[in-house]
């Protein structure tokens, strides 16, 4: 059965999942790269980005599980790029170069239609203008029973959380302060929605927390 998962989403000690002032030079907002000191050195990240072997251990275990059994991804438009409003042209094809790390269909939430982009390595970006339910229906349809991963950013995750559509979240809490930006759980009552913490594992560079939605019955 297809589950909907958030994996390796990192927040600061003060709750921010992205820094302020995202632009071409700051894809995660100002200071946002500080969140990922646990993730970048891992073997999973380094192999995904073709840079070498990387570290193993708990941080890598959590990074690796985020790619297991994934049949499709959903991203908010801010995760795809810094362009806002109508697409000025079709030249922007994401932050990741010609061979993005997804290797499955990726559905990008946007208010502005755009033709699909086929990339190397079996990644195709599809642009969805009908909202979170349409994106999830389409992602489930191509996942072939595998899971759908919600990549972010914070606003996209919030929308799926409020709708009770995320089955499991792995959040890494990084020991840094951002001060401002986008808070992941802003205005979201996780307890009332039926989420509870089922795992908590600290490492030197992060505290890994897994939250799971308990369905009635």
Rg of the chain over CA atoms, in angstroms? 17
User: What pLDDT, on the 0 to 100 scale, is given for residue 124?
Assistant: 96
What is the b/e burial string over 31-63, where b = at least 16 CB atoms within 10 angstroms of the residue's CB?
bbebbbbbbbbbbbbbebeeeeebbeebbbebb
Q: Tell me what pLDDT residue 52 has.
A: 74
Q: pLDDT 10s digit of each residue in the chain, 217 long? A: 899 999 999 999 999 998 887 777 777 777 788 899 999 999 999 888 766 789 999 999 999 999 999 999 999 998 898 888 999 888 899 888 899 999 999 999 999 999 999 999 999 999 999 999 999 999 999 999 999 999 988 999 999 999 999 999 999 999 999 999 999 999 999 999 999 999 999 999 999 999 999 876 4
CA 184 – CA 16 distance, rounded (Å)? 6
Q: Give the model's pLDDT for residue 119.
A: 94
Here the CATH number for the domain that contains residue 70 is 3.40.430.10
Instruction: Write the DSSP string, 91-148.
Output: ----SS-SS-S--SEEEEE-SS----EE-GGG-EEEEE-S-HHHHHHHHHHHHTTSEE
Note whether 77 and 18 are within 8 A (CB).
no
Q: Residue 192 CB: number of other CB atoms within 10 A?
A: 7
Show the domain range for 89: 4-213
> d(Cα 100, Cα 81) in Å, to the nearest integer?
13
Yes or no: say if 111 and 91 are a contact pair by the CB < 8 Å rule. no
pLDDT of residue 216: 63
- Cα separation, 79 vs 94, in Å, equals 8
Residue 196, judged by CB atoms within 10 A of its CB (0-12, 13-18, 19+), counts as exposed
Peptide bond into 43 cis (omega under 30): no
How many domains are there within the chain? 1
Q: Where are the alpha helices (DSSP H) in the chain?
A: 43-48, 58-65, 77-80, 132-143, 154-162, 190-193
**Whole-prediction pTM value?**
0.93
What pLDDT is stored for residue 217 in this prediction?
46
Task: List 147's β-bridge partners, or say none.
Answer: 70
The C-alpha angle with vertex 158 and arms to 88 and 112, in degrees rounded to 5, equals: 20
- What pLDDT, on the 0 to 100 scale, is given for residue 107? 98
- In this prediction, residue 23 carries a pLDDT of 76
Kindly provide the b/e burial profile for residues 166-177, where b requires at least 16 CB atoms within 10 angstroms of the residue's own CB. bbbbbbbbbebe
Placement of tokens 């946002």 in the chain: 32
């Amino acid at each position: 059965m297809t589950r909907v998962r958030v994996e390796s989403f990192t927040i600061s000690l003060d709750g921010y999942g992205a820094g302020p002032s995202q632009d071409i030079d700051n894809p995660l907002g100002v200071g946002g790269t500080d969140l990922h000191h646990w993730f970048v050195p891992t073997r999973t990240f380094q192999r995904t980005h073709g840079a070498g072997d990387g570290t193993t251990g708990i941080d890598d275990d959590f990074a690796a599980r985020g790619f297991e059994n994934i049949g499709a991804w959903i991203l908010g438009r801010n995760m795809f790029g810094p362009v806002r409003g109508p697409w000025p042209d079709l030249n922007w094809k994401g932050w990741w170069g010609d061979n993005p790390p997804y290797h499955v269909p990726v559905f990008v939430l946007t208010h502005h239609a755009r033709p699909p982009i086929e990339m190397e390595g079996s990644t195709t970006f599809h642009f969805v203008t009908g909202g979170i339910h349409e994106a999830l229906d389409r992602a489930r349809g191509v996942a072939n029973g595998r899971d759908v991963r919600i990549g972010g950013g914070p606003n996209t995750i919030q929308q799926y959380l409020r709708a009770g559509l995320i089955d499991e979240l792995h959040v890494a809490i990084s020991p840094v302060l951002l001060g401002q930006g986008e808070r992941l759980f802003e205005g979201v009552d996780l307890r009332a929605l039926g989420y509870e913490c089922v795992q908590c594992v600290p490492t030197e560079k992060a505290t890994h927390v897994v939250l799971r939605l308990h369905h009635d019955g």
